Amino acid sequence: MKTAQGMTLIEVLIGIAIFAVVVVISSAVTASLSTNKVSADRLAANQAAQAFFESVTEYWRTSTAFGNADPAASPTPFPVPAEINGYNWSLTISDIDMTSATFAPKTSVTWTKSSKTAYTASASATLMDLSLTYTPTASGSSFVNGTEIYKR
């Protein structure tokens, strides 16, 4: 029975039920997003890789620095990938042969946290390939990111 003063009891109960369902669903989605470790790790690896690739692009901006990768160089060392808790990284730097039908690397070097050998690409290098992999120290999937940087 509807009165002039407001809503019926059934309308109020339906409104409360709808509100409760929305709150429960929102809480479940928020909890799922905040507790999903794989998604959080994937996001951290992607953000770290993109930040690293941006810093390398900036480092190789000049033609004299292009293709040189020495983390011990002074005054400006070559950047290294960020550490992610529970993951080890490996980086492969390759000088791509653009005259090859398969764009095979002419030379390459692979770095890890504990092994970073200075690398200099050939003088004719115009395209560098970077492949950054974060491998879990325990079980799980690796996260692989890559980019190519062309000489300006």
Render pLDDT for 23-38 as a digit per residue (tens, 0 to 9): 999 988 887 766 678 7
Residue whose C-alpha is closest to residue 70's, from 30, 109, 39, 37: 109
Helix or strand holding residue 88 (H, E): strand 87-96
Q: What angle do CA 48, 51, 56 make, to 5 degrees?
A: 120
Task: Look at strands 143-150 and 127-136 and give their pairing.
Answer: antiparallel
Q: How confident is the model at residue 138 (pLDDT cuts 50, 70, 90)?
A: confident
Of the ranges 8-12, 28-32, 37-41, the best mean pLDDT one: 8-12
Residue whose C-alpha is closest to residue 67's, from 113, 100, 105, 112: 105
Q: How confident is the model at residue 4 (pLDDT cuts 50, 70, 90)?
A: low
3-state secondary structure of 131: strand
Phi, psi (degrees; rounded to nearest 5) at 116: -130, 90
pTM: 0.73
Output the six-digit token pair for 49: 């890789």
End-to-end CA gap in the chain: 78
CB 95 within 8 A of CB 63: no
